[in-house]
Amino acid sequence: MDVVHINSGRWKYMVVARDNFSGWPETVELVKLTAKAVAEWFTSEWIGRTGFSPFELQFGQLPVLPIDIETKTFLAIEWHKISTTEELLEARAKQSEGKEEMRRKAAEKLKRSKEDLMKYWDRRMAHQLRSPFTEEDLVLVYKEEI
């Protein structure tokens, strides 16, 4: 992630975030460069739709103690709607209860995200495949249980 100073009408700054794997850039223009504005954009545009935990987004690897993934309720909470301490405490209480419905919703959301990503890469890399995969082909599968 980087910040570029621009002079384009009312916009003074552009925050650029790029996925190192795909090279896909995302940008947002800002009038004032504040940590709050960048954090709001990052949480609303990136964290909610990636299917990855904040630790994985920050450090690019799985955490040593992946409590947010192991509890299976991290993705079920709508974090972007939380704005007060009371709402945060309520969300954390729901998360710690470990409701089966929340786990199911989180698993469905993660599955949809993985399917969308798989379709994207299938389209993008189709020209590099010599022939379609068959049932006998060996492929690397990551986190198959989800």
pLDDT averaged over 10-residue windows placed end to end, the chain, 146 residues: 85 84 82 88 72 70 62 67 85 70 78 86 77 79 63
118-141 per-position pLDDT tens digit: 888 888 877 777 777 788 888 777
Residue 15 and residue 35 share a domain: yes
Residue 39 and residue 72 share a domain: no
Residue 81 and residue 45 share a domain: no
Residue 34 and residue 66 share a domain: no
Residue 90 and residue 70 share a domain: yes
Residue 14 and residue 41 share a domain: yes
Q: What percent of the chain has pLDDT over 90?
A: 0
**Token reading at 44:** 């609303």
Residue 69 and residue 33 share a domain: no
Residue 119 and residue 98 share a domain: yes
Residue 72 and residue 37 share a domain: no
Give the structural domain span for 21: 1-50
How confident is the model at residue 44, as a pLDDT? 77
Number of domains comprising the chain: 2
